[in-house]
Structure 1
Amino acid sequence: MQSNNIRSLVFIALFAALFIVMSAVTIKLGGSFVPITLQTLGVVLAGLFLTPRNAFLSIFIVILLTAFGLPLFSGQGGISTLTGATAGFIFAFPFCALLVSLAVGAYLRGSSIKQNKVLSFIVFFLIFELFSSLCAYIPGIPWLMHALDFSFQKAMVVGFYPFIIGDALKSLVGTILAISLTPYIVHIRSSTASSKTQDSIYQA
C-alpha cells in the first residue's frame, strides 16, 4: 500500500511537470487572447496513464502552484492568470484529465482493446477529442465572454475555431500513443491503483 502511494506521488509529480513543459510551448495568434499550447496533450497523457484521482491531482497541483505566483501557464502566473480570459479553460483541465482517465479505464476493462485495433483507435480518439478538448470549451467560452465582454460569436471566433485542427492533431497523437503503449499504460495504472481496484478497475 505504501509503495503504491509513493508511486502515485512520483507519477503525479511527473505528469504535473510534463504539463508545465507543454504549457511553455506557446504560439500566440494575432489578436487572440487564447494561445495555442500543448496543454490539452498534457491532459490527454495524464488521463491516459494515471488513475482518475492522480490525473486530476497532477493538473490541479499546477493550478495551485500558479496561484502562488509561479509562471506555469504559458509563462504567466499569479491570481491574475487564474482570473484572466483563459481561466475557464485552466480550471477545466483537471476535470478533463479526470474524465479522460475514467473513460480510458472503462474501455481498458473490456477485451475489445486486444481484439480490434481499428475500434480501439476510434474509441481512444473520441475519448481524447471529447473529454480533453471539447469539454474544456464548456466553461472556457462562457468565461471568455464574461472576462472580455465578448458576444458568443466573437468568443467562438477567438477561442474555438482557430483551435479545432490543433485539438484534433493532439488527440491523434494521444491515440497513437494509447495504441502503441497499451501494456505499459495498463501496468502503470494498475501499479498506482489502490489494492481494492488493482485486479478489476484498471486491468485490461
Structure 2
Amino acid sequence: MQKSNSIRSLVFIALFAALFIVLSLQQLKITVTPVPITLQTLAVILAGLFLKPKHAFASIFAVIALTATGLPLIGGKGGLSLLTGYTGGFIFAFPFCAMFISMAVGRIFANENLMRNKALSAIVLFIVFELLSSLLAYIPGIPWMMYVLEMPTDKALAAGFYPFIPGDAAKSAIGVAIALGLAPQILRIRGKARSTYETNQEAMIIR
C-alpha cells in the first residue's frame, strides 16, 4: 500500500511539473516588459490546489532543478544563466508559493462551515491565491530584478509588477472556479478522507 501511494504521489508530482513546463512555453507568453507575462502562476496555483504541501513544492522545484542542468524547460530556455538572471527571484519563489497555497487550501477545505458558504469560500480562496501565488513571488522577484538590471524601484515596479495585476487576478479567479467546481475530486487527489462536505456535495447531486 505504501509503495502504491509513493508511486501515485510521484505520478502527480510529475504531472504538475509537466503542467508548469507547458504553461511556461514561449508560445503562451506575452513580452511587454523585461519580465514576460506567462501562465506559470496558474500552474503554481493548481499545484498548490491539488497536491499536498511537500508534493506541490517538489513539482515546481523539480522543474527548476532540471532547468539548472541546461534543459530548456522554462519558456524554452534553461541553464544557470536563466535561474540567476533578472527573473530568477520569481522562479525560485514559485515552489514556496505552491507549498504555502497547498497548506492554506488544506485548512480551507477542512473548514466545512466555510466550504458550505460558496460566496465566502470563493472570496477566501481568491485572497489566498492572490497573496500566495502572485504577491509572495514579487517579494524576492522585484528586488532581485532591481539588483541584476540595476533598476530603480519605480521602474522595477512598472516593469515587473503593475502590468501583471489584472492577469494575476484573472488566474486567481480561474483557480477559485476550479477549486469550488472540483472540490470532491481535489480532496481525493490530496488523499484526504471523505469529509462531511464531500458527502453533502454528493448528496446534493443525487437529489
TM-score, length-normalised on structure 1?
A: 0.92
User: In the aligned structure 2, how far is the partner of 1:139 from the partner of 1:19?
Assistant: 20
Tell whether the 8 Å contact from 1:144 to 1:150 is kept in structure 2 after alignment.
yes
- Range with bigger deviation, 48-57 or 118-127: 118-127
The share of aligned pairs that are identical, in percent, is 59
Q: Indicate the residue corresponding to 2:180 in structure 1.
A: 179
AA partner of residue 5 (structure 1):
S
Partner SS for 1:27:
coil
> Aligned pair 1:134/2:138, yes or no?
no
The CA deviation at 1:146 is 0.3
AA partner of residue 157 (structure 1):
A
Tell whether the 8 Å contact from 2:108 to 2:115 is kept in structure 1 after alignment.
no
Q: Indicate the residue corresponding to 2:169 in structure 1.
A: 168
Tell whether the 8 Å contact from 2:24 to 2:40 is kept in structure 1 after alignment.
yes
Tell whether the 8 Å contact from 1:112 to 1:120 is kept in structure 2 after alignment.
no
Partner SS for 2:55:
helix
The CA deviation at 1:200 is 9.8
> Aligned pair 1:117/2:130, yes or no?
no
Q: Which has the higher helix share?
A: 2
In the alignment, structure 2 segments of 5+ residues that lack a partner are 199-207
Question: Residue by residue, what CA displacement relative to the aligned partner does 1:114-171 show, whole Å, maximum 9, x if unpaired?
Answer: 4100011101111100100110000000000000001111110000000000000000
> How many aligned residue pairs are there?
194
Question: Residue by residue, what CA displacement relative to the aligned partner does 1:17-75 show, whole Å, maximum 9, x if unpaired?
Answer: 0000000121111xx21000000000000000000000000000000010011111111
Tell whether the 8 Å contact from 1:109 to 1:200 is kept in structure 2 after alignment.
no
User: In the aligned structure 2, how far is the partner of 1:51 from the partner of 1:163?
Assistant: 27
User: In the aligned structure 1, how far is the partner of 2:127 from the partner of 2:81?
Assistant: 33
Tell whether the 8 Å contact from 2:29 to 2:37 is kept in structure 1 after alignment.
yes
In the alignment, structure 1 segments of 5+ residues that lack a partner are 191-197
User: In the aligned structure 1, how far is the partner of 2:37 from the partner of 2:193?
Assistant: 39
Tell whether the 8 Å contact from 1:141 to 1:159 is kept in structure 2 after alignment.
yes
Q: Indicate the residue corresponding to 1:195 in structure 2.
A: none
Partner SS for 2:190:
helix
User: In the aligned structure 2, how far is the partner of 1:36 from the partner of 1:138?
Assistant: 17
Structure with the greater relative contact order (CA < 8 A, sep ≥ 6): 1 or 2?
Answer: 1
Tell whether the 8 Å contact from 2:109 to 2:115 is kept in structure 1 after alignment.
no
Q: Indicate the residue corresponding to 1:11 in structure 2.
A: 12
Q: Indicate the residue corresponding to 1:194 in structure 2.
A: none
User: In the aligned structure 2, how far is the partner of 1:134 from the partner of 1:161?
Assistant: 11
User: In the aligned structure 2, how far is the partner of 1:199 from the partner of 1:16?
Assistant: 25
AA partner of residue 62 (structure 1):
V
User: In the aligned structure 2, how far is the partner of 1:66 from the partner of 1:75?
Assistant: 10
AA partner of residue 39 (structure 1):
Q
Higher Cα Rg: structure 1 or 2? 2
User: In the aligned structure 2, how far is the partner of 1:133 from the partner of 1:169?
Assistant: 11
> Aligned pair 1:95/2:96, yes or no?
yes
The CA deviation at 1:176 is 0.4
TM-score, length-normalised on structure 2?
A: 0.91
Q: Indicate the residue corresponding to 2:87 in structure 1.
A: 86
RMSD: 1.5
